[in-house]
Amino acid sequence: MTYDLVAPCYFGTESSASFDFKRIGAENVTVTDGRISFRGDESVIAAANLATRCTERILILLKRFPARTFDELFDGVNAIHWEELMPKDAEFPVKGSSLSSTLSSVPACQSIVKKAIVERMKVGHHTNFLPESGQLYKLRFSIRKDMAEVFLDTSGDGLHKRGYRANATEAPIKETLAATIVDLARVRTDSLVQDPFCGSGTMIIEAAQKAMRIAPGLQRRFLAEHYSFMEPGQWRQAREKALSEIQRDVAFEGRGFDIDPRAVELANRNAKLAGVGNKCKFFVADVADFMPDSRSIMLTNPPYGERLGDLEMAAKLEKTLGERLRINPVSGSYIITSDAEFEQNFGKKAAKRRKLYNGMIPCQVYMYY
Ligand SMILES: C[S@@+](CC[C@H](N)C(=O)[O-])C[C@H]1O[C@@H](n2cnc3c(N)ncnc32)[C@H](O)[C@@H]1O
C-alpha cells in the first residue's frame, strides 16, 4: 500500500534535507516551509526512519480536511478507518497543535479528536470497551488556517535519538541539527572535519556517519515496527540494505577538541558506539591552541552565553577562535551560535548566514568559505 508521508524539518533546510528522501526511493518528494512531503509504501517508511538524517519524525498523513467547527473536526476524524489501522486494545494518545485557526483551544480539539477515534473504533471493532492496554500508536493532529491534518507517527522517539549518545555534555546540539549543518558544509567521503568545541562529539560523529553512509537509525527501534499493518520483514530488509551500504574504508577524518576532559572521554565513547571510532579522534585542548589543518572544514557550536558561562566568556572564545583561524585558515567554517554579536567578536562577516533553532534557542549558522 502507498501512503502520504510527511517529515518535519528545520526551516530553510528543506531542499537539502529532501535529497535523503529521493535517495531512499520516496516518490513525489515536495518541500514546503519546515516539511518534506512524499509518498511511499511500508519499505519507504522503514527506510525513511532508518536512513534520513535531518528530520525529526516520519508521519503518515491520514487525512486533510477543513475544520472550522468541532463538528467538522469530529466528522473528519471519525471518517478515518481507524479499525483497520489499530487493533481494539491499542493505546492511542493524541497530541496536537493549532495555529491561526478558529478552533484555537488545543485541549478541546484534543478531546474531540480522541472522542471521534473512540467512537469509530467501538463501531469498527464491535465493542463497547477499549482497554488501551496493548501496542502504542501515537497520533497527532495539526490545525493551520482552519485546515486539519491527522497523522500517525511511525517514529516514536524523535529521530534525533540515534542511540549513540546516551550521555551528553551540558549543552549538546541536537543530532538532526548537527546533521543539517553537515549537509550545509557539504561534507564528503574524503573530508577532514574539525571541531574545536566538540563537547560530546555530535558534529564530528554526524559528519563521519554521513561520510561512511552509516544510516543514523541503525541502532534504535521505531514505533511502527510494532504496528499491525506493517510487516516485520520490511524493517529487516531496510536494516540489511542500510548495513550493506556502509563504506568503512573512506578517507574521511574527524578531529574534535574540548577543554573538558570528561567531554573528550564521552566523545570518544560516543564515536565508538556510533560505529565511527576509527575515523574520529578527540583531544583535550584549549581553543587558544587550535591549529586546524588548512584542508579541513570546521564545524562548531561554541559555548552560548545563555547556557554555559556568561556572555563575556562566550565573546572572548569567539574572538580567540577568529584569531586562530586567521593564523590557520581552513577551507570552510560553519559556526552555529545564538550570539547576535558573533561576527563582531569573531572579526569577520560571514559569506552566508542561515537561521535555525537549537531546541528552543534561535540561532544562526555563520558560513565562511
Ligand atoms: C555548546 S558546547 C558544544 C556541544 C557539542 N556540540 C555537543 O554536541 O556536545 C561547547 C563546548 O565548548 C567547550 N569549551 C569551553 N571553553 C573552551 C575552550 N576554551 N577551549 C575548548 N573548548 C571549550 C565546553 O567544554 C563545551 O563542551
Calculate the alpha carbon distances from 46 to 38, 113, 164, 232 in Å: 14, 27, 20, 10
Q: Whose CA is nearest to atom 13 of ligand 1?
A: 197
| Nearest atom (ligand 1) to Cα of 286 | 20
Alpha helices for 104-247 (secondary structure H):
106-124, 175-184, 202-211, 232-245
Question: Residue 34 has what pLDDT?
Answer: 87
Q: How far is the CA of 199 from the centre of ligand 1 (A)?
A: 5
For 329-363, give one letter per residue: b (16+ CB within 10 A) or e.
Answer: ebbbbbbbbbbeebbebbeeebeeebebebeeeeb
Are 185 and 144 in contact by the 8 Å Cβ rule? The answer is no
Cα 257 to ligand 1 centre (Å): 8
- Dump pLDDT digits (tens) for 256-301: 999 999 999 999 999 999 999 999 999 999 999 999 999 999 999 9
From CA 236, how far away is CA 223, in angstroms rounded? 14
Q: For residues 331-349, give the mean pLDDT.
A: 95
Instruction: Indicate which residue's Cα is closest to atom 16 of ligand 1.
Output: 259
Please report the pLDDT score of residue 17 as a whole number.
87
Q: Is the CB of 172 under 6 A from ligand 1?
A: yes
For residue 12, which amino acid is it? G
What is the reported pLDDT for 351? Answer: 97
Residue 108 is predicted with a pLDDT of 98
Q: Is 169 in the pocket of ligand 1 (CB under 6 A)?
A: yes
Per-residue pLDDT, averaged over 161-168, amounts to 79
Burial of 139 (0-12, 13-18, 19+ CB in 10 A): buried
Sign of the CA dihedral running 143, 147, 152, 154: negative
Q: How far apart are CA 207 and CA 196, in angstroms?
A: 15
Average per-residue pLDDT for the chain: 94
pLDDT value at position 14? 86
| Cβ count within 10 A of residue 259 | 16
According to the model, what pLDDT value does residue 309 have?
A: 57
Give which of 195, 175, 200 is closest to 267, Cα–Cα: 200
pLDDT level of residue 116 (50, 70, 90 thresholds): very high
Q: How far is 56 from 10, CA to CA, in rounded Å?
A: 9
Q: How far apart are CA 158 and CA 187, in angstroms?
A: 24
Q: What is the dihedral of CA 104, 110, 114, 116, to 10 degrees?
A: 0
Distance, in Å, from the CA atom of 127 to the CA atom of 85, rounded to the nearest integer, reads: 16
